[in-house]
Amino acid sequence: MTLSLAKSRPRRKPSLTPMIDVVFLLLVFFMLASRFGVDQVLPLPLASGGSGYSGPPRLVDIRPETLQLNGREVSVDALIVALQGMTERPDDLIILRSGDETDLQRLVTVAAQLRSAGFSRLTLVE
């Protein structure tokens, strides 16, 4: 009894074309999904040692719809006028605190308005 097997064909080498296609598609996907916008830098002062502050508190609470200065609701213009009355120099410290639902853009906008009014030392707290 003889067993005759068909001639074995040479094994095919795996094709790399599908793998290259997948890698190319992933590359294109991540290039299109990434952001190419320029991020703005918000300069924050470093902590430094010094004498304690003894003047009136200058705490600005930034909420989604309102601003509060030391617990009193104010508009942006009234905030600037009130802070000018509370500060002796433009580099006096002003503390900014944002609420949980406050957008980052609102915080940056208020900080920019205070800086344009001449206040140079703004500190952000939780």
Q: How confident is the model over 23-64, as pLDDT tens digits?
A: 999 999 998 888 777 666 767 666 666 665 556 778 888 988
Q: Is residue 34 part of a domain?
A: no
- And the tokens for 122? 């703004």
Overall domain count for the chain? 1
Q: Is residue 39 part of a domain?
A: no
Q: Is residue 61 part of a domain?
A: no
Cα–Cα distance measured from residue 52 to residue 49, given in angstroms and rounded to the nearest whole number = 9
Contact predicate 124/44, CB 8 Å: yes
Q: Is residue 120 part of a domain?
A: yes
Which comes out higher in pLDDT, residue 67 or 2? 67
Decide: helix, strand or coil at residue 74.
strand
What pLDDT score does 51 carry? 60
